[in-house]
A and B are shown apart, each in its own frame.
Chain A
Amino acid sequence: MSVKKHYSFLVNGENHTVESYPANRLLDVLREDLRLTGCKEGCGEGECGSCSVFLDDVMVNSCLVPIAQVQGRQVRTVEALSSDPLGKILQEKFLEHNGAQCGICTPGMLVAAITLLRRNSQPTLGEIQDGLAGNLCRCTGYKKIFDAVADAAQVAREQGVLEGGKA
């Protein structure tokens, strides 16, 4: 193992500095050093998407990001979603449609849903399926998640949170 170094970055709008080995995973730094446990480890190899967070507004699997790559950048996690208008709508719709059953994939699924809707505010069912295909859910068979995302897209468009058409 190499030596520990200091890394500074923004998490949910706040500055943080941690002392860490450069290869330590962003996932572990968020969960253990910063106690932001909303992102989950499902597989540790980028397959399940449960650890999804935003890094400079791009969805990443935080289990695959070494902390050295986060220096000076911005991270947003599920803990900040309620203050994002689209995030809030999605949370409400996941609750209403029972898109969260056991809840362990939900934080990552919400990050994937935001990513999808920002790119495409009027997704078809097939586009929702493709958009969420990197996030595994074992409880729902995905249908309730599709319902929640489609409904959230409509509400977000009606409220002007999302543009009307496809980007």
Chain B
Amino acid sequence: MPGQLLFSSSSKQGSSCFVTNRSVMVDKCVGKSVPRKEGWEKVTGAALYVDDIVKPDMLHGATIRSTISRGKIDRITFEGDIPWDEFVIVTADDIPGENSTKMFVGEQPVLAKERVNHPEEPIVLIAHADPYLVRKARTQVKISYIEETPCLSIEDSLNKAPVVWGEDNLFKTIRINKGDVDAAQSEAEIIVEGEYFTGASEQLYIENNGMIGEYDAEEGVTVTGSMQCPYYVHPALCAVFNLPKNKVRVIQSDTGGGFGGKEDYPTIIAAHACLLAMKAGKPVKLIYDREEDMVATTKRHPSRTIIRSGHKKDGTLVFMDVDFALDGGAYMTLSPVVLSRGSIHAAGPYRCPNVKILGRAVATNYPPHGAYRGFGNPQSFFALERHMEKAAKQCGLTADEFRRRNFFREGDLTATQQVVQDRVDMRELLDQALEAADYHNKRERFKKENEGNPVKKGMGIAAFFHGSGFTGGGEQKMASIAGVEGTKDGKVRVLAASTEIGQGAKTIFSQIVADALKLPYDMIEVARPDTDDVPNSGPTVASRTCMVVGKLIQTASLALKQSLVQEGGLDEDYTPEQFAQACKDYVARNGKLRRYSQYEQPANIVWSDETYVGDAYGAYGWAIYVAEVSFDTRTYEARVNDFVALQEVGKVIHPIMAEGQVQGGVAQGIGYALYENIVWKNGRMMNGQMTNYIMPTAADLPVIRVLFAEQPYASGPQGAKGVGELPIDGPAPAIINAIEDATGVSVNQIPATPEILMKEMEAAGVC
């Protein structure tokens, strides 16, 4: 791998950059761990999240939801010792425009009217000035139903038992075909078959969802709140309130984590807060408590994957036949695109001449499943990387040698027949990761030590990749715009709707602009995402903020400089002071100085939504993760002792933040693999509490060791690709592979809680 640099960003390196960057004015900023833009507000408690904001005369709202999974609404009554005449009450009849969230086919109502299709579906909204009274009143709205038979599993949905959506319960079907799987059957000397299951999981951002709605007959509606995608909320509010674009304003408040969970659902909460505000004639705050957030908002799609693969005796892949199914819940929402990403990646980073992938997202009567970091890939890579483990065994090869023989080589074709352009050699990444994890020595040692020991240790590998940005033609369709502004104070202000949700968007944008304009980091500001002020740079999803939007602001920065040089008399070889003065002069003379850039598809990207053939993504991140796990045969607990995460994500803009993104993603992946279990009863989540939905604490995790290999990507800002989602794709299969290495038992479902592991181990006669 020529030119590939491997490094680990130690804390020491970060602290020296910290000082360097403050004293040396126009040092290069990208590649250094500068202080987080909004960091000081966060460590002093000054940052304002939605629940910290108070508006004059504000009321507090609450949502009354369905308690059944499917049926007709019979009667709504307002009971108890509640002064109902003091309350503002909203139902579907109060919606002035469309009763739709405007996501895809738009069949999801903002408020259920005659029937409900899942538990926790919003039906009635109430508001009052006294939040304590609201809490009490919420329990006194009684709704009766005429119940219908729900559909509550992927299998039932595929069997149309019963049909609950459209004619066949299918939200979306995707077929990817490469070569000829049927014809290749006879060439295979070894056939491997497996079935794999993953459960739903909760994003569990620590800040619950919330919005403040305001309404003014002249100005229209304004909503302020916790969100990832202001321009998803904006068109939905235009439709719900039947208002033109300039009468709807969406403002992001400081947001305490998202991970996909604040991609589409905030649209519903925004509409609710504004409907109450319109009826009340006062601002209304609608904040979910933890339980409401957990049970009512979206979770990761549960999945079931059947893989059948054919191999030569030496292990090389002859064909792969993948049947990938996702439970979409009651409404389509984002399921088609989650399915798309998961299906495209389902054959993994492996060279295989014949591939058939059938992807289906099906309707059930669970609350709609939605975006969660990884977006379909954690599901398909769990299945694939467990299957590769099985195939290795059946072919008589070790896990690493089997993968080494099958990895893509430069110029190979992916499942969608995209030529792999990234000059990344997975074999070399594998060697480096195994060495860092001391994989071979440890395996050998564990084999001896496990003998007669109640605690058994093992090592597991996962190999995977993750496309950066929207799938296929998504970026072209979105045609995002971002910009920069030279301010009257002589600073440069980034204009983008891309939200800071903890991932560091404000910081990396500032770094990119600082370098593009050869200015110090401190001269760059980032505008708060507010649809009255910033253009639509697209949603903050799909590992696209750095690669796609970062590139746009880099280009816009150059246009800004050009204007100052050509129209503002700025010398090409300016100092920061001269640049600042030129901005001030320009604004004083001409008014606002704003320059924008719009996304243009690189010419070499060709994709067909009809055939699913072509360049599914402009670039991919590549990774090998290695887990060391111990399994206690007395308590059935699995624990991750060591974790090595090696990835290639292009140029690393901010080493410490990128490392933090990977560690955070791996931590969520460990939770997904072992702890985070949702207990369902008739389609309702029964454990909507942090007490009984178990996410990893500081004491549960190993130190996650992060390594980057860097191969700059030509179309990314200074060579950067996406990093946010990749880290959650690999931990679960690596961990479950390690459990198999430790015990010999093949577990094919997650979360592998002690209860599940007990069942599997007892069935295999291990414990």
Question: Do A and B belong to a common assembly?
Answer: yes
Which A residues lie at the B interface, using CB under 8 A? 1, 21, 31, 35, 37-45, 47-48, 50, 77-79, 81-82, 90-92, 94-98, 100-107, 110, 125, 128-130, 132-147, 151
A residues in contact with B695, CB < 8 Å: 136, 138
Asked if B42 and A106 sit within 8 Å, CB to CB, the answer is: yes
Residues 660-680 of B at the A interface (beta carbon under 8 Å): 660, 662-668
Query: Closest residue to B54 on the A side, CB-wise?
Result: A35
A residues in contact with B255, CB < 8 Å: 102
Asked if A104 and B207 sit within 8 Å, CB to CB, the answer is: yes
* B326 contacts chain A at the CB level, 8 A cutoff: no
Known contacts A45-B690, A94-B43; A37 and B666 CB within 8 A of each other: no
Q: How far is the CA of A143 from the CA of B656 in the complex (A)?
A: 11
Asked if B691 and A47 sit within 8 Å, CB to CB, the answer is: yes
A residues in contact with B691, CB < 8 Å: 43, 45, 47
B residues in contact with A147, CB < 8 Å: 11
* Residue in B48, B501, B668, B697 with the greatest tally of chain A CB atoms within 10 Å: B697
Asked if B44 and A79 sit within 8 Å, CB to CB, the answer is: yes
* B642 contacts chain A at the CB level, 8 A cutoff: no
Known contacts A42-B290, A98-B657, A144-B663; A47 and B256 CB within 8 A of each other: no
Extra 10 A-B pairs, beta carbons < 8 Å, given A45-B691, A47-B691, A141-B660: A42-B690, A43-B689, A90-B43, A91-B40, A102-B501, A104-B207, A104-B257, A129-B698, A133-B698, A138-B206
Q: Of A103, A134, A146, which one neighbours B256 at CB under 8 angstroms? A: A103
Q: Of A37, A44, A138, which one neighbours B664 at CB under 8 angstroms? A: A138
* B503 contacts chain A at the CB level, 8 A cutoff: yes
Residues 9-60 of B at the A interface (beta carbon under 8 Å): 11, 14-15, 18, 33, 35-36, 38-49, 51-52, 54
20 of the cross-chain contacts (CB-CB < 8 Å) are A21-B132, A37-B45, A41-B208, A45-B691, A78-B45, A91-B44, A100-B36, A103-B47, A104-B205, A104-B206, A104-B256, A137-B206, A138-B204, A138-B205, A139-B664, A140-B664, A141-B665, A143-B663, A144-B656, A146-B703
Q: How far is the CA of A129 from the CA of B206 in the complex (A)?
A: 19
* B523 contacts chain A at the CB level, 8 A cutoff: no
* B699 contacts chain A at the CB level, 8 A cutoff: yes
How far is the CB of B705 from the nearest CB of chain A, in Å?
Answer: 9
* B463 contacts chain A at the CB level, 8 A cutoff: no
How far is the CB of B212 from the nearest CB of chain A, in Å?
Answer: 14
Asked if B206 and A142 sit within 8 Å, CB to CB, the answer is: no
Asked if B39 and A48 sit within 8 Å, CB to CB, the answer is: no
Asked if B39 and A40 sit within 8 Å, CB to CB, the answer is: no
Asked if A140 and B663 sit within 8 Å, CB to CB, the answer is: yes
Q: How far is the CA of A1 from the CA of B131 in the complex (A)?
A: 14
B residues in contact with A146, CB < 8 Å: 698, 703
Q: Of A81, A134, A141, which one neighbours B44 at CB under 8 angstroms? A: A81
Q: How far is the CA of A166 from the CA of B41 in the complex (A)?
A: 32
Asked if A100 and B39 sit within 8 Å, CB to CB, the answer is: yes
* Total B residues in contact with A, Cβ cutoff 8 Å: 62
Asked if A42 and B207 sit within 8 Å, CB to CB, the answer is: yes
B residues in contact with A77, CB < 8 Å: 45
Query: Closest residue to B203 on the A side, CB-wise?
Result: A138
A residues in contact with B657, CB < 8 Å: 98
A residues in contact with B49, CB < 8 Å: 37, 40, 104
* B187 contacts chain A at the CB level, 8 A cutoff: no
Asked if B36 and A144 sit within 8 Å, CB to CB, the answer is: no
Q: How far is the CA of A98 from the CA of B689 in the complex (A)?
A: 28
How far is the CB of A150 from the nearest CB of chain B, in Å?
Answer: 9
Q: Of B207, B659, B666, which one neighbours A40 at CB under 8 angstroms? A: B207
Asked if A145 and B39 sit within 8 Å, CB to CB, the answer is: no
Q: Of B40, B46, B132, B503, which one neighbours A101 at CB under 8 angstroms? A: B503
Please name the 8 residue pairs, one residue from A and one from B, whose CB atoms are nearest each other, closest first. A38-B45, A102-B502, A104-B256, A103-B42, A141-B663, A141-B667, A78-B45, A37-B52
B residues in contact with A97, CB < 8 Å: 11, 14-15, 656
A residues in contact with B699, CB < 8 Å: 129-130, 133
B residues in contact with A100, CB < 8 Å: 36, 39, 42-43
B residues in contact with A96, CB < 8 Å: 14-15, 18, 35
Known contacts A78-B45, A141-B660; A136 and B697 CB within 8 A of each other: yes
Known contacts A1-B132, A44-B290; A95 and B40 CB within 8 A of each other: yes
